[in-house]
Amino acid sequence: MTAQTVLQTPTLLIDRAKEAMQKAYAPYSHHYVGAALLSEDGRIWTGCNIENAAYSPSICAERTAIAKAVSEGARSFAAIAIVGGREGHITGSFPPCGVCRQVMAEFCCPDTFLVFLGTPTGFETHTLRELLPSGFFPSALQGD
């Protein structure tokens, strides 16, 4: 399946994020989050949040998916779907935190990378640029 095909039916990506959400380890916040990252070549990488009693070692679902993809050689991404909620039930939209947005900025084109936020009744669509309007992108470090 191509990335373009998946983008035409983003519910597939939302469904994969829902599956990932059920694998979350969230014994402290009880907020389960799942993400499904679409690479430009059509592969889908999933991730869930993994909490830690010390909190700062916790990792968000989005960064889990990105780390899995990058560790397998993927570097170019088209979209991500994110769902979340209390005890594994979608209770609203869960936009990515600032750290996740910055990690996305490292690998994703801000104007074309789509972020689908699952809601109890459907999903919202944003570009990375909308979520990180004055972001620090790799282009800031190129040239003088």
Provide CB contacts within 8 A for 62, sequence distance 6+: 35, 37, 47, 80, 82, 96, 100, 103, 104
Retrieve residue 49's tokens: 């949040």
| 62 assigned to active site | yes
pLDDT 10s digits, 83-116: 999 999 999 999 999 999 999 999 999 999 999 9
Give me the phi and psi of 127, to 5 degrees please.
-95, 160
**Residue range 115-144: mean pLDDT, rounded:** 91
Whether this model's pTM surpasses 0.85: yes
**Residue range 10-36: mean pLDDT, rounded:** 96
Query: Which residue type sits at 119?
Result: T
Q: Domain residue spans in the chain?
A: 3-133
> What whole-number distance in Å separates Cα of residue 100 and Cα of residue 103?
5
Instruction: Check residue 144 and give its pLDDT.
Output: 54
Contact 40, 78 (CB under 8 A): yes
What's the half-sphere exposure (Cβ side, CA atoms, 13 Å) at 105? 20
- Catalytic residue from among 19, 40, 62, 106: 62
pLDDT above 90 covers what percent of the chain? 85
Retrieve residue 97's tokens: 């935190």
Query: Among 96, 8, 78, 70, which residue's Cα sits nearest to residue 37?
Result: 78
Give the SS3 label for residue 130: helix
Give the SS3 label for residue 87: coil
| 3-133 is classed CATH 3.40.140.10 | yes
